[in-house]
Structure 1
């Protein structure tokens, strides 16, 4: 399952990494899901992808019992992460894996203090973005470890990279 799938970058990575798997792609945006479905059909993977429109802050539809739930840059969008994490914990099949990827901040593209003609430009852009998103996404940049353990998950130690 790709939770908060957007237009499907994670969905297609999961399909490539697990060639026998079927992926349930969940998002609140009908447009994102439509685009994902079109890409899946065009790539020949349409039969392996199920799209489900759902607001993770509302009642969840039947999603089955996945063995793997992937959530990349989506958990910070939910209003009540504790509730969402508990729902994922309840949903997973016994022994299943919940892989959460969240950024501590947005990537940098300019050298610190740069560019020379406008010193500190990127710092000002990041500060403005942080102010804008503070009320919209109060969980952006959160420490997810305590939230995950409170929901019943056992942490797998140091972060590991999974090649795709």
Structure 2
């Protein structure tokens, strides 16, 4: 249930590659966020001992699942996604890291299935709710899977990535600003067309409180890779820009479309695989809340 899992016109096998690239520049963030969650839950030794079951909802290829299993060594982790191909990748990733016995997978497609995933001491979900029509109901469903004292951690938005100077020497200056506008317009249209779409103010602590939870803290994590980038992050950017080129379609003017085509060209020196001025800077915000009483 990652954002790329909803790209129209791509099959599951094609979708599987995009989250793999996504995991490369974000792996350090996931580790930092998991350790922060451990601290929010209590002293490290106590939290590591009391967290016995973790759900990674919208797991994609299992990057967060593996990090959570490592940070909470006594926990069983369930990777949850709607894509069988991505769940297969999650199992393979767990096997590569010697975590096969502690990470299992579960397929779930609709928010009303989230409540049947529990019980859990910790639920992690990244960029899932904003792709569901009724975000408030999705949070209520996730909260219903928590044990008393359990925590829901929701990673949503932050700051859009920056990876190019304002003037890159081809096309018109200010390309990224225009891409941001076009992507936001496309996302708004997509949200409006979701089943049961309801417009809500995306005040995540308030939404978590309305789901019956007590907000426990919010933190924004900076992801900063200065130029020159290594190949793994460059490949992530190339895949991201290729998806942007595919998804935006007619929203781009001809000059910006041509510029994007040059940036994703693997052979051209103007492409992100070769440019010396490419960097990667973004921020991801994680909101947490706890169930402080028994629902019964």
> 1:98 is matched with which residue: 128, 139, 152?
152
Point out the structure with max Rg over C-alpha. Answer: 2
> 2:83 is matched with which residue: 29, 47, 52?
29
Q: Secondary structure at the match of 1:5?
A: coil
Equivalent residue, structure 1, for 2:47: none
Aligned-residue offset at 1:43: 2.3
Equivalent residue, structure 2, for 1:146: 206
Q: Distance in 2 between matches of 1:104 and 1:14?
A: 21
- CA 1:44 to 1:158, structure 2 compared with 1: closer, same or farther past 3 Å? closer
- CA 1:114 to 1:149, structure 2 compared with 1: closer, same or farther past 3 Å? farther
- CA 1:82 to 1:67, structure 2 compared with 1: closer, same or farther past 3 Å? same
Q: Distance in 1 between matches of 2:220 and 2:76?
A: 23
1:4-40, CA deviations, whole angstroms, 9 ceiling, x for partnerless residues? 1111111111011112211011111111101111121
Contact 2:158 2:220 in 1 (8 A): no
Q: Secondary structure at the match of 1:135?
A: helix
Q: Distance in 2 between matches of 1:45 and 1:127?
A: 41
- CA 1:142 to 1:108, structure 2 compared with 1: closer, same or farther past 3 Å? farther
- CA 1:134 to 1:9, structure 2 compared with 1: closer, same or farther past 3 Å? same
| Residue pairs, 1:1-150, within 5 angstroms | 1-60=55-114, 62-111=116-165, 113-115=166-168, 117=170, 118-137=172-191, 142-150=202-210
1:52-101, CA deviations, whole angstroms, 9 ceiling, x for partnerless residues? 11013344473231000011222212221111111122110000011111
Contact 1:104 1:142 in 2 (8 A): no
Aligned-residue offset at 1:142: 2.9
Cα RMSD (Å)? 2.3
User: TM-score under structure 1 normalisation?
Assistant: 0.85
Which structure 2 residue ranges, 5 or more long, are not aligned?
1-54, 193-198, 222-285, 287-296
Q: Distance in 2 between matches of 1:73 and 1:13?
A: 17
Q: Distance in 1 between matches of 2:96 and 2:76?
A: 16
Q: How many residues align?
A: 160
Aligned-residue offset at 1:158: 4.3
2:209 matched to 1:156?
no
Which structure 1 residue ranges, 5 or more long, are not aligned?
none
Aligned-residue offset at 1:105: 4.3
Select the structure that is richer in helix: 2
- CA 1:90 to 1:57, structure 2 compared with 1: closer, same or farther past 3 Å? closer
Select the structure that is richer in strand: 2
Q: Distance in 2 between matches of 1:97 and 1:73?
A: 17
